[in-house]
Amino acid sequence: MFRKITSLTSFFSFIVLIITSVVLYIVPQGRVAYWADWTLFGLSKEQWGDIHICTGVLFLVISILHIWLNWKPILAYLKKKAGDANFTSPAFYISLAITLFVTFGTLAELPPMKQVLEFSKYFQARGETKYGIPPYGHAELSPLQIFCKRMGLDVDKAAASIRNAGIELESTKEPIKSIANKAGLTPKEVHEIILKDQPGKKSSVKKDTDSAPQGQEQSHSAGTGTGIGRMSLEQYCAKFNLDLNTSLGILREKGVVIDKDTPIKEIAGALGLDSPRAISTLLNP
């Protein structure tokens, strides 16, 4: 009876792990999923992750029990004949080689592991295009007043826009996510409402492939493909021969809280720019 329970629990938990693994493979990046309040079958990314972790622990415990209950058969696989351990069988070396190839091949970016990871990044990129990106990491957790300060927005106008949209707002200390949840909206949609009455501000939900604005930024974008938005500020400055400290100073004067590792697309979003490529105009006045 105990063996049957162990085997069936191992089987069912393995099935759940397969499902959660597929979901977490295709889910948008965390910051995008949280910003757009992404769900699948009514479950958020965090909930899918929690199920994956807890089921993984269950599978680990059950697997240890399964190994203990089947220790003799396992040893038999490694024995040529009774009493003699056999670590030279083809099955042993083939199994070990497959495991090591996948493990270290992943680190070395060898196929097919490289393609598996690239396919996951493809799904993540599609998520950014579909759901947009937050202006900065975990922006949805920021209180309204902090969010507005970091974004250079008028907090009073933001609060008025939210109330005019019929959304209950008790205090500007309420987190964006809390405001969105009460209204049945996503943090991204609350952001869009806030921007409506903010002069000179536009939505940050743009693709990296937006056409570059006319002028100096076009020369910077030439030949760069669609990777500008994913560059850190440090990488961007190195590529276009800009002084990093000067660029940090310019951006911080605009009220953007960043460091050298902040991606260009996050900086563009925080500034309300149409495209990451528009950063070049700001950094080359």
pLDDT in tens, 122-133: 877 777 777 777
Q: What mean pLDDT comes out for the span 175-188?
A: 89
Q: CA 117, CA 285: separation in Å to the nearest integer?
A: 40
3-state secondary structure of 146: helix
Measure CA 141 to chain center: 16
Percent of the chain whose predicted confidence (pLDDT) is above 90: 14
* Cα-based angle 35, 38, 41 (whole degrees, multiple of 5): 165
pLDDT beyond 90 at 15: yes
Answer whether 262's CB lies under 8 Å from 231's CB: no
Answer whether 249's CB lies under 8 Å from 256's CB: no
3-state secondary structure of 273: coil
> Per-residue pLDDT tens for 213-246?
333 333 343 333 346 777 888 888 888 888 888 8
> Per-residue pLDDT tens for 63-115?
999 889 888 887 777 665 545 555 666 766 787 788 788 778 887 888 888 88
Q: Which residue has the tokens 């097919």?
A: 112
Q: What's the pLDDT score for residue 208? A: 37
Q: Record the pTM.
A: 0.51
Q: CA 219, CA 240: separation in Å to the nearest integer?
A: 10
pLDDT beyond 90 at 22: yes
Q: What is the mean pLDDT of the chain?
A: 79
Least confident of 15-29, 41-55, 211-225: 211-225
Q: What's the pLDDT score for residue 122? A: 81
Q: Which of 14-18, 46-50, 85-89 has the highest mean pLDDT?
A: 14-18
- Both tokens of 92, joined, read 């042993």
Of the candidates 154, 105, 161, the one whose C-alpha atom is nearest the C-alpha of residue 272 is 154
pLDDT beyond 80 at 212: no
Q: What's the pLDDT score for residue 227? A: 62
Least confident of 27-31, 64-68, 221-225, 253-257: 221-225
